[in-house]
Amino acid sequence: MPLQHRIFCPRLLLTAGITLSLIFSTPAAHAAPADMAQGYRDMYNRDFRSAHIVFAAWIAAHPEDPFGPASDAAAYLFGEFDSLNVIDVQLFNDNSQNPAKNQLPIDPNLRADFNRRTDQAERLADAMIAKNANDAQALFVKMFIYGLRADYAEMLDKSDFKALKYSKIGAQYSDRALAADPQLYDAHIATGFENYMLSLKPAPVRFIARLLGGQTDKAKGISELKLTAQNGKYLAPFAKILLSVAELREGNNAEAKAILQSLARDFPENPMYPHQVERIH
């Protein structure tokens, strides 16, 4: 099944699945409470309204935690991706599911809501880093924020170079987060995604990307995505989506189908996974 890819796509869950099964036990330094876990389950099940409710409650109860507004920003962005069929079309090259949605305009309030939450998260993360330059949670949130900004630039603004700029910054925070906490497996998705997706571009594009600081090692990209898929706490499902796309590109349909079937079992309210399984022959 032929696929067409742009340079960047959603990584939440940045992240991404955003990876796009979720494992919600984390190291003690950045443990995830049950209600935040529910917010991520809601997002992977495409229930973005419920996710916003969960994240807003967390922000109100924990106003100094940057992960709350960063997660809410992800819910805004992925909710818009869902309403426009972005993941189906731009990741899986699938125009079959409600193609009229592809022509819808972007929500005029999205940018303001998204910027409000990413800016809030960044201020809080910067305050934590000012106190401790090696705060793994704050560094991870910074990576997450810049990953979301890269996704917005690539998927909605259609700006490859703006996305590359944000992605490069996110990768730097990924390296710092992993240096502070090597078990923060979600952070591997930043460099994994960048390496894999840029490796697929034509040689002139790869050359320019390397000049701009991009990483284009395909094998390294796949390896890092697998680390997140196997051990990630929030982005494991999105890493699995990316790996399924990679398997399809390589003609490994059985492997891609198995990954998507596991996602369908873990998130039964999301119709995308079984739909993509049906498209594999």
pLDDT tens digits along 162-193: 888 898 899 899 999 999 999 999 998 877 77
The tokens of 111 are what? 């940018």
Percent of the chain beyond pLDDT 70?
73
pLDDT of residue 35: 80
pLDDT of residue 22: 32
Rounded to an integer, the average pLDDT of 89-112 is 69
Rounded to an integer, the average pLDDT of 23-47 is 65
Instruction: Quote the Cα angle for 174-177-179, to 5°.
Output: 110
pLDDT of residue 98: 57
Q: What is the pLDDT of residues 132-167, one digit of tens each?
A: 999 999 999 999 999 999 889 988 998 878 888 898
pLDDT of residue 131: 98
Query: Taking all residues of the chain, what is their mean pLDDT, rounded to a whole number?
Result: 80
Residue 254 neighbours by CB under 8 Å, 6+ apart: none
Cα–Cα distance, 178 to 122 (Å, whole number): 19
Cα–Cα distance, 172 to 126 (Å, whole number): 15
Report the DSSP beta bridge partners of residue 12. 15
Alpha helices in the chain (DSSP H): 34-44, 48-61, 67-83, 86, 110-131, 136-155, 160-180, 188-199, 203-211, 218-231, 236-249, 253-266, 272-279
pLDDT at 31 over 60: no
Rounded to an integer, the average pLDDT of 82-93 is 72
Instruction: Determine if the pTM surpasses 0.85.
Output: no
pLDDT of residue 16: 36
User: Domain coordinates of the chain in residue numbers?
Assistant: 28-279
Q: Yes or no: say if 213 and 18 are a contact pair by the CB < 8 Å rule.
A: no
Domain 28-279, CATH class in plain words: mainly alpha
Report the DSSP beta bridge partners of residue 15. 12
pLDDT of residue 101: 54
When pLDDT is cut at 50, 70 and 90, the band that residue 34 belongs to is low
Tracing tokens 């979301």 back to the chain, one arrives at 148
